[in-house]
Amino acid sequence: MSSKVDQQVAVSCKGITKTYGEGSTAVVALRGIDLTIYRREVLIIQGPSGSGKTTLISIIGGILDPEGGECLIDGQNLSLLPEDEKTKFRASHIGFIFQAFNLIPMFTSVENVSIPLILNNVPREEASKRSSDLLTKVGLADKVNVCPPELSGGQQQRVAIARAGIHNPDLIVCDEPTSALDHETGLKVMQTLREMVLEHNGTLIVVTHDQRILQFADRIVKMEDGRIIS
């Protein structure tokens, strides 16, 4: 573990289980996951398709509830919160980069990135300025007023990455954040993500098959068949 990693616990998963479907068609996605992640840590999760990686980070990010066990984010069990309080917590504490980007097609890049700030009551003018600055930092200075359908996959991915980090969340969770990026851009984006979380004492969790970005990890966890194997 890097000396930069704080010993303060950011995420605590204990006995996490999750099954999709019922009866003979049931698919067990997670089989009792125990995982502790610390502040200022960059954790990379690897494993084959179907190993439970995306399910695990969806639970950590408060998008799914576990079937069994508990997941605490900064001591808060999100699955016990009413839906509106869970949404507020995610909006202020968590940034999520989805593999499918999940950008709003009729919004410009800067409007998409501004969404978390607007949800946290930042004035629109300030939100737009901060979003433009971050888009410039990820190499999209000339795309701030362009809508997602007019962007390449790699450009959309960078917009999604900027949106996830714009509000300086305590936790950024990423599902294949560099999959649509060339080598140089992928490294630049990972460096930006790492700087974002370290600057604000946050935590970065990355699911990836991209061997090129393993150098950014403080720790690598490997999953197989719904279990952590190393």
Enter the pTM of the model. 0.91
Closest alpha carbon to 228 in 54, 19, 46, 26: 46
Angle (CA) 178-173-187 rounded to 5° is 30
Domains observed in the chain: 40-62+80-228 (3.40.50.300)
In this prediction, residue 1 carries a pLDDT of: 45
pLDDT in tens, the chain (230 residues): 454 677 899 999 999 999 999 888 999 999 999 999 999 999 999 999 999 999 999 999 999 999 999 999 999 999 999 999 998 999 899 999 888 889 999 999 999 999 999 999 999 999 999 999 999 988 999 999 999 999 998 899 899 999 999 999 999 999 998 888 888 888 988 998 898 888 889 999 999 999 999 999 999 999 999 999 99
DSSP assignment of 181-211: S-HHHHHHHHHHHHHHHHHTT-EEEEE---G
Alpha carbon distance 100, 179 (integer Å): 11
In this prediction, residue 51 carries a pLDDT of: 96
97, 173 contact by CB (below 8 A): yes
Alpha carbon distance 33, 227 (integer Å): 6
202, 168 contact by CB (below 8 A): yes
* Rg of the Cα atoms in the chain: 17
Residue 42: its H or E element: strand 42-46
Alpha carbon distance 202, 182 (integer Å): 26
Q: 10 Å Cβ neighbour count for 165? A: 26
In this prediction, residue 7 carries a pLDDT of: 84
45, 223 contact by CB (below 8 A): yes
